Amino acid sequence: MFDGIPAFFAAARYGTALLVAMSLVFAGGTIATYVTLSVAALLGLGRVGMGRFEPYGEVLSGGFIAFVGLVFAADNGPLSQIQN
């Protein structure tokens, strides 16, 4: 996202209409990318069988998300600012 900010600043001198157009193109491209990658991931994961772990898929994915959250909290949280 931050890479696009200079382009918006440069386009600002050409008027509001160009800024609105750039915003719409940026939003459309972002939404299209998310939808395309989500559909591709869904189709790809539909081909993968988890075997005996299949009944626990929700628990495993929730645990993974919680684990990633804890890693980020430990790395970027208030405790990471404490110097030994």
- 30 shares a domain with 58: no
* pTM strictly above 0.85: no
CA angle (6, 10, 14) in 5-degree steps: 150
**More confidently predicted of 40 and 9:** 40
CA distance 49 to 16: 51
**83 domain residue, yes or no:** no
Q: How many domains does the chain have?
A: 2
Evaluate whether residue 4 is within a structural domain. Answer: yes
**Pick from 43, 42, 41, 63: which is nearest to 53 by CA?**
63
More confident residue, 6 or 76: 6
Judge whether residue 31 has pLDDT over 80. Answer: yes
The answer on 37 and 6 residing in a single domain is: yes
Shared domain check, 26 and 63? no
**Do 11 and 42 lie in a common domain?**
yes
Note whether 37 and 57 are same-domain residues.
no
Rounded to a whole number of angstroms, the CA Rg of the chain reads 21
The yes-or-no verdict on residue 8 having pLDDT over 60 is: yes
- For residue 63, what are the domain limits? 52-78
